[in-house]
Amino acid sequence: MNYQLLTKCPIFKGVSINEAEHLLGKIHFQIKSYSKEEIVAVAGEPVKNLMIIMSGSVRGEMIDFSGKTIKIEDIEAPKPLATAFLFGQENNYPVTVTVNKDTKILVMPVEEFLKLLQLNSRILRNYLNSISSRAQFLSQKLHFLSFKTIKGKVAHYLLKQAGEMFHSIELKNTQQQLADLFGVTRPSLARVFGEMQKEGLIKISNKTVTHIDKKALNKLINNA
């Protein structure tokens, strides 16, 4: 068990290695191993355990009304899974979780996690912050997916990354990663970037995107 890595998990933020080891000594949990492309959880099934990725990575995906699979995000160690769905009446996985590469996950039953929350107020506070952040992320993601056009999605993404103060951003994702994020094919995304550049909306140099016409980009969002 890698307690040093565990203390880097958002839920264990600020907890010392010795304290984490001591606390988990009072709780029942196990470390499960998963192979590449193995399914960890299926969308709609109940969330019965707190899961924390200890090595490797997984991805969360959902299927839209047309049957297309949309990747919501990649989750790597040492982040937890579905923390916002551990409790409540509709505590089901919102997405299907699939392994990207060989992965080990700490699995702790909800009843045992409740004991942990009662044992340590810092972990309780971290957990409350975590579920609040997840709720905000999902809300933003649903808003993003509501755009009907690829241009609208790209415009929203670029403006959000730049904020009010900046007129350029550096793309940290590959074009394929962005295509997965937008739920489109890579050629379609490349074509849209090309069209937006020809229309004078943006200028692309290597991985730097400069916002030429923010007013026009905002108009794209309103019409998307």
Residue 182's pLDDT is 76
Lowest mean pLDDT segment, chosen from 88-97, 112-121, 154-163, 193-202: 154-163
- Going from N- to C-terminal start, the domains of the chain cover 3-137, 150-223
- Of the candidates 50, 43, 19, 42, which has an alpha carbon nearest to the alpha carbon of residue 131? 50
- 44-53 pLDDT, tens digit per residue, is 999 999 999 9
pLDDT score of 41 more than 80? yes
Looking at the chain, the whole-number percentage of residues with pLDDT higher than 70 is 92
> Which residues are CB-contacts of 12 (< 8 A; sequence separation ≥ 6)?
6, 20, 123, 126
pLDDT score of 61 more than 80? yes
Q: Tell me the average pLDDT across 53-61.
A: 94
Lowest mean pLDDT segment, chosen from 22-26, 55-59, 89-93, 207-211: 207-211
Task: Identify the residue whose tokens are 């103060």.
Answer: 165
Residue 141's pLDDT is 67
Altogether, the residues listed in the chain come to a count of 224
Considering the entire predicted model, what is its pTM? 0.63
Q: Tell me the average pLDDT across 50-71.
A: 85
Lowest mean pLDDT segment, chosen from 41-50, 148-157, 173-182, 195-204: 173-182
Find out if CATH 3.40.1160.10 is the number for domain 150-223. no
- Of the candidates 45, 145, 122, 120, which has an alpha carbon nearest to the alpha carbon of residue 85? 45
- The encoded tokens of residue 178 equal 């962005």
Distance of CA 17 to the CA centre of its chain: 26
Please state which of the four CATH numbers 2.60.120.10, 3.30.2130.10, 3.40.50.300, 2.40.110.10 is assigned to the domain occupying 3-137: 2.60.120.10
User: What rounded mean pLDDT belongs to the chain?
Assistant: 87
